[in-house]
Each structure stands twice: as C-alpha cells, then as structure tokens.
Amino acid sequence: KLSQSVVTNYCLPEKQMLLFVAVGVSYDSDIDFVEEILVEEALQAAGEVPGLLADPPPYARFSPGFGDSSLNFTIVCQVGEFVDQYLAQHTIRKRVFKRFKQEGIEIPFPQRTVHLRKE
C-alpha cells in the first residue's frame, strides 16, 4: 500500500517552511495602514514565538484581494519547521485581532442585501 500512496516529507530537503496567514478587513479600511499593522504584528510575534523566524522578515500582501465581504490580505513569514506553524499562526492571529480592535479596524462578517420585488 505504501508504494501506491503519496508521502509528504515536511523536513527534507529543508526544515524551514513558509507560513501563510489569511486576514480580512472591511472595505472601509486604509489598506496601507492594514499592511503596516500586519507586518508589525508578525515581527513582534517572531520575537515571542520559538520557531517563528524574523529573518527573512515577514511581509503582507493584498492577496487574494477583493472578497465578497472583505479586503483579503496574506501575511507571509517563515517557521523553523513544520510543527512551529501552529503556535505561530495562533499568536499572529491573536496579535492582529487585538491590534485591529485597538486601531478601530473592522473584521467584517458576510453580509447579503436582499431586494424584494413587488408583484
């Protein structure tokens, strides 16, 4: 059976791996300020979380971009090895959530507008 299976090796040839953390904000948000906050909080987290690397420095991209209810960003950083990603994601998300609250940046939820026709 093993010969017919796909085996993923998360340690070789290199233990370090990229980590992607998705974040969505309101369409009313200042995207440059959001990007700045995301990078700052990821860098701060790198100083707190073992395995979350500050070098190379984390960065944020306005990607995948325009969502149904939010402007979507991705924080890109590196972890020392596969198992480091879970605490790193947890810490980054908590830091971003708290900072957004502090700065008044809204994390939207899906909304729909329904138009009723009179017949």
Q: Which residues of 77-107 are buried (b: 16+ CB within 10 A; e: fewer)?
A: bbbeebebbebbbebbbebbeeebeeeebee
Residue 85 has pLDDT above 90, yes or no: yes
At 7-65, the pLDDT tens digits run: 777 666 788 999 999 999 999 999 999 999 999 999 999 999 999 999 999 999 999 99
Round to whole Å and give the CA distance between 49 and 96: 15
Q: Could you tell me the pTM of the whole model?
A: 0.82
Token pair, residue 21, equals 């953390």
Boundaries of every domain in the chain: 15-103
Q: What is the pLDDT of residue 8?
A: 76
Share above pLDDT 70 across residues of the chain, in percent, rounded to a whole number: 96
Q: Interior CA angle at 70 toward 94 and 17, to 5°?
A: 50
CATH code: domain 15-103 is 3.30.70.100
Rounded average pLDDT over 89-105: 98
